[in-house]
Amino acid sequence: MTACLTLSRRTLGGQILGGLLLAAPALAQPQPAWPTRPVRLLNTGAPGSGIDLVARLLSEGLASRLGQPFPVENKPGADGILAGEAHAQARPGESLLLCGTGLASVAPLLRASMPFAAEALAPVATTGREFMVLVVPGNQPVPDLPALLAQARARPGDLAWFAVAGLPDLAFRLFLRDQGLDMTHVAYRASPPAALDLAAGRIHAALLPLTPVKALLQEGRLRALAVASRRRAPDLPQVPTTAEAGFPGLLAESVIGLFGWPGLAAAGRQALAATAGAVLAEPATASRMLAAGILPAPDGPAALAEVVASQQAQARTAMAAVGLHPG
């Protein structure tokens, strides 16, 4: 037996939104419409990041459609674990989690133990794709990717790098190994401070989302060498992909996912995905995402689960290749 946690029926773009189903103990009484109180929109991004932007756009759109506030809570750090743990500790229906899919796919492979179970992240929807860009300080004589490699070979161990946790980090480690390069990894809690340190010359290269580096690129404080994607970024049409630069193995595509709570049944996930998709399809919302360098990519629970599974397979291969073990 299951009880129903239902969304109030609302007209949305000519469609009637269905109900959310929450698994509950046998003989439980029907629950009131969801949401009946504010829902925390936890996210792994720092202020100014792409994830933070998408969270704020979703917060506004979900609130207007579902009739309750969706306050945004930024919890960067620990490779997204802090936000994931806060979501897992919340009561069912009281929070949603927006994060890079690496938290669900790669983080469990890199850690000997996680503070929450995989089931705590119930796939709901993909929201957008961030372009990962290999960037260097704008005042350095490094015009392209081969020049960076030449500099690293001439100064083994002297150059410092950072990449976003998850697949981007693994991809760059594998790239360094394949090229026989010795560069020093530096850890950061989030992309924006790494971008600022890179612009100041405190580190020498980074694989970062386009959103937090876009303004620094426009100001000339950073230089983009390549986009680690299968296609060029629309905002950086002159910047080649890593494959076009001669290094097809350096590929790190980032997906931002929306996750629900344990027990959120299939019908509930589909309904919530449809609502999120309607928000992302609004022209003003899509325009703001594109302006920040994020491709809107709304899709449902199955698509998000497929991304997670694919990334896990890629991560296992990369970890085996570089000899990285859970720690």
10 and 104 both lie in a single domain? yes
pTM to 2 decimal places: 0.83
DSSP class of residue 271 equals: H
267 and 283 both lie in a single domain? yes
Give the pLDDT band of residue 27 (cuts 50, 70, 90).
very low
For residues 269-294, give the mean pLDDT.
94
User: Looking at 185, 207, 227, which one is the last position of a domain?
Assistant: 227
51 and 93 both lie in a single domain? yes
- Buried b vs exposed e over 100-115: b needs ≥16 C-beta within 10 Å? bbbbbbbbbbbeeebe
pLDDT of 2 > 90? The answer is no
213 and 304 both lie in a single domain? no
For residues 73-101, give the mean pLDDT.
94
Q: Is residue 180 part of a domain?
A: yes
Ranges of H-type helices in the chain: 50-66, 81-89, 102-105, 107-110, 145-154, 167-179, 191-199, 210-218, 266-281, 283-291, 301-322
106 and 12 both lie in a single domain? yes
124 and 52 both lie in a single domain? yes
Extract the tokens encoding 254: 């980032």
pLDDT of 127 > 50? The answer is yes
Place of tokens 């000519």: 14
Q: What is the CATH number of the domain that holds 25?
A: 3.40.190.150
Give the pLDDT band of residue 22 (cuts 50, 70, 90).
low
User: Looking at 188, 211, 227, which one is the last position of a domain?
Assistant: 227
DSSP SS3 for 14: coil
Q: What is the CATH number of the domain that holds 193?
A: 3.40.190.10
Q: Is residue 232 part of a domain?
A: no
The reported pLDDT for the residue numbered 254 is 87
194 and 284 both lie in a single domain? no
Nearest CA-CA partner of 311 in 58, 126, 34: 126
273 and 125 both lie in a single domain? yes
Q: Is residue 237 part of a domain?
A: no
- The 3-state DSSP composition of the chain as helix, strand, coil percent (nearest 5) reads 40, 20, 40
220 and 282 both lie in a single domain? no
Q: Is residue 233 part of a domain?
A: no
CA-based radius of gyration for the chain? 21
Q: Is residue 45 part of a domain?
A: yes
Give the pLDDT band of residue 268 (cuts 50, 70, 90).
very high
DSSP class of residue 203 equals: S
DSSP 89-111: HSPTTSEEEEEETHHHHTHHHHS
Domain enclosing residue 289, as ranges? 3-129+255-322
11 and 116 both lie in a single domain? yes
The reported pLDDT for the residue numbered 321 is 87
Nearest CA-CA partner of 257 in 105, 106, 101, 119: 101
Per-residue pLDDT reduced to its tens digit, 199-234: 999 999 999 999 889 999 999 999 999 999 999 998
Per-residue pLDDT reduced to its tens digit, 145-182: 999 999 999 999 999 999 988 889 999 999 999 999 99
Q: Count of domains in the chain?
A: 2
